[in-house]
Amino acid sequence: MEFLKTLGIEGINPGTSTGRKHHESKETISSFTPTNGDKIATVGVTTREQYDQVVEEAQKAYKVWSQMPAPQRGEIVRQIGQKLREYKEPLGKLVTYEMGKIYQEGLGEVQEMIDICDFAVGQSRMLYGKTMHSERPQHRMYEQWHPLGIVGIISAFNFPVAVWSWNAMIAAVCGNVMIWKGSEKTPLCGVAVQKIVAKVLKENNLPEGIFNLVTGDREVGEWMTEDERIPLISATGSIRMGKEVAKTVGGRLGKSILELGGNNAIIISEDADIEMAIRATVFGAVGTCGQRCTSTRRLIVQESVYDQVKDRLLSIYENISIGDPLDENTLVGPMIDQGAVDQMQNALKEIEKEGGKVITGGEPLDEDGFYVKPAIAEVENHYDIVQEETFAPILYLIKYKTLDEAIELHNGVKQGLSSAMFTLNMREAENFLSARGSDCGIANINIGTSGAEIGGAFGGEKETGGGRESGSDAWKAYMRRQTNTMNWGDSLPLAQGIDFDV
């Protein structure tokens, strides 16, 4: 395919930072497209020797990169954003072809990379500290922020390029260098992005070790989390994985940013604009075939409008176009692999076993690729299967009577990423956004759970991990704070009025 050639993807690709003289990897990962199961290409798995060489080169690059003024680092990030604009179409197609999300979403993911580059360029001139008044005469106090060093980024298959950029571009303007391990299910996306970024570094005579790529399974990720040379690990994935990362990184007193599971809900009030709520629900529930961390999993509906919402959803689900994600008429592409399809089928069986009812969809389609019909099920919030995050297009319908009950149901799961409420009632809206309302990191009124903008800090509470990436002041997570005191006088007064003469 032409877009693969444009991105420099070959039949066999190095999985460790391109342009390096590493020993050839004997082990490889094959990338398969979920659209029809065909093999796309192979990628070399990073060996331990290669990994250590990458870390060493990253350390060398850090000495150069961290000494550049932040606005100059921002200029390099600006050029990366410009290069991504040039490659937006082929990279968007690769995201679609390797991951399975529809082409519009693939393009949107690359646009998100471009947007975060633009944001980071501005941030490079706003790494602000504070000044404080000292209690001692002729003293000045202030704080400043310094880079950490190497930032390790472990990303998931569902956003194979965007989540890396949230971390990498902000961390870069802060003066850090990056080592990235993407998902073994989407390794070509990492290879393609590495090649794009390497062009910018080469054009500016900068060391390639500023941005680094390693490829492999859990073992490579464990090397990173155990490595004391990497002070910060930003990991996106399952709750189970996140707990292991937190334990390992915390055990060496390192820092971590965790973006883990979401079990996101929309509350639809009797005072909602129903059609608006339905549109947001469908996009959140079936977009990316239900494989977003912000996918809408639970729909908590006021009993007076429950049947109306249910009937409208059923009519839409009957006509959703499922198929080749590169076809512009498709709304739902495939799941990532057969394992994901099997997980969905197991969840549907568990729903029925616990007393729920699947009222539409769920069955795999009889064709090449990993296609399923999005499902809707009537359930109770306390079911074990509802309490879990099934990474699949299953939407749970739940009734409520009062607002207090709705909020209790909403918050009654262990995850706390994204949330939404549809209502035209100001009191309901303010209740949902108050301290007694949504307990999630993201809470929206009259928009869905998916589609966060890069300007806000992204992340969640409870078992979602508590991390924050992307906008607002998330940049502080990639830096260390330093408090400074400057004595410009000719005496040495002590704080708290302590008298200590010698």
Provide mean pLDDT across the span 11-24: 73
Q: Look at residue 24 in the predicted model and tell me its pLDDT.
A: 65
Cite the active site residues: 259
pTM reported for the whole predicted model: 0.96
Q: Look at residue 94 in the predicted model and tell me its pLDDT.
A: 98
149-191 confidence digits (pLDDT tens): 999 999 999 999 999 999 999 999 999 999 999 999 999 999 9
Provide mean pLDDT across the span 143-147: 98
Alpha-carbon gap, residue 457 to 474, rounded angstroms:
6
pLDDT band at 485 (very low <50, low <70, confident <90, very high): very high
Length of the chain: 502
Provide mean pLDDT across the span 279-288: 98
Give me the domains of the chain, ranges plus CATH numbers.
2-260+465-482 (3.40.605.10), 264-454 (3.40.309.10)
Percent of the chain residues past pLDDT 90, beyond the cut: 96
CB neighbour class for 413 (10 Å; exposed up to 12, middle 13-18, buried from 19): buried
Tokens 């190095």 sit on residue: 14
Provide mean pLDDT across the span 118-124: 98
End-to-end Cα spacing for the chain: 80
- Is it the case that residue 502 has pLDDT exceeding 80? no
396-415 confidence digits (pLDDT tens): 999 999 999 999 999 999 99
Per the prediction, the chain carries an average pLDDT of 96
- Is it the case that residue 338 has pLDDT exceeding 70? yes
Q: Look at residue 22 in the predicted model and tell me its pLDDT.
A: 46
Q: Which of 285, 317, 310, 308 is nearest to 420 (CA)?
A: 285
Q: Look at residue 18 in the predicted model and tell me its pLDDT.
A: 54
- Is it the case that residue 26 has pLDDT exceeding 90? no
How distant, in Å, are the alpha carbons of 58, 258, 281, 294 from that of 458? 27, 11, 20, 11
